[in-house]
Amino acid sequence: PESAWGKRMNTAFSKHWQLMGGVVSNSIVYQEGLHDFSDVIESMLNIDQSEVRKKEISRTIGRKVEFTPRRRQDIDMIFMAALPRQAKQIPLQITYHYGHDIPVYSTAHIVANYHNSRKNIDMDGVRFFDMPFLLGHTENTISQNSRYPNALYQRLFAMGVDSYQLAPYVNYLYQNPSESFAGDSGQITIDYNGHIIRHSPWATFDQ
């Protein structure tokens, strides 16, 4: 999105992706208030260039032609930086614009509420990471009828639990960076600089 958060996401992802040997083929910015992302998606997938080629062929031969747009073939995946409202619309529109076979990856920002499957169904197939606590990978849970169904509050709850549980092991983990702590917010390690590093599991929406 065209926002300060969007710029930070773009910079952080691109920098790390390229550091790992990846190539960023294209980066597209969209307006947060949009509901129709057709223009930016057509530009991202080069559908607009395919349309131009069709018009040129039609003009050259002097008649209409049977035509199916062809998207770009030089990308392996799409990383989508989005909040819940946009995340429900962008994957569907990527599919509509012939990108149904392109894996879409994102972050936990796309989920506002895990208990409302109707709101999440449009993100079928999107791959993202989140805390084990929210994905049901830990013994601790917050029920569907909780006062705090919002995923943001649940993440804060998980971080609070881990802060309490981690305290006795801080010195040990600092002295043994190869060891980890299985927390509600992720698999936690502490590096030689004293930084707490949290590794989250991947998940995929399936209905």
Render pLDDT for 27-61 as a digit per residue (tens, 0 to 9): 999 998 888 998 899 888 988 776 777 677 677 77
pLDDT in tens, 170-204: 999 999 999 999 999 999 999 999 999 999 999 99
Q: What is the pTM of this model?
A: 0.82
Question: What sign does the CA torsion over 116, 117, 118, 122 have?
Answer: positive
Strand partners, 104: 78
Residue 91 burial by CB count (10 A; 0-12/13-18/19+): exposed, middle or buried? Answer: buried
Residues forming a β-bridge with 98:
none
Tokens of 82: 């989005």
Q: How far apart are CA 23 and CA 10, in angstroms?
A: 13
Q: How confident is the model at residue 142 (pLDDT cuts 50, 70, 90)?
A: low
Output the pLDDT for position 116.
76
Residue 67 — very low, low, confident or very high, per pLDDT cuts 50/70/90?
low
Mean local confidence (pLDDT), 74-103: 93
Give percent above pLDDT 90 in the chain: 57
pLDDT at 143 over 60: no
For residue 145, pLDDT beyond 60: no
Q: Nearest 5 degrees, angle CA 160-CA 162-CA 163?
A: 65
What average pLDDT does range 9-32 have in this prediction? 94
Q: Is pLDDT at 151 greater than 90 in this prediction?
A: no
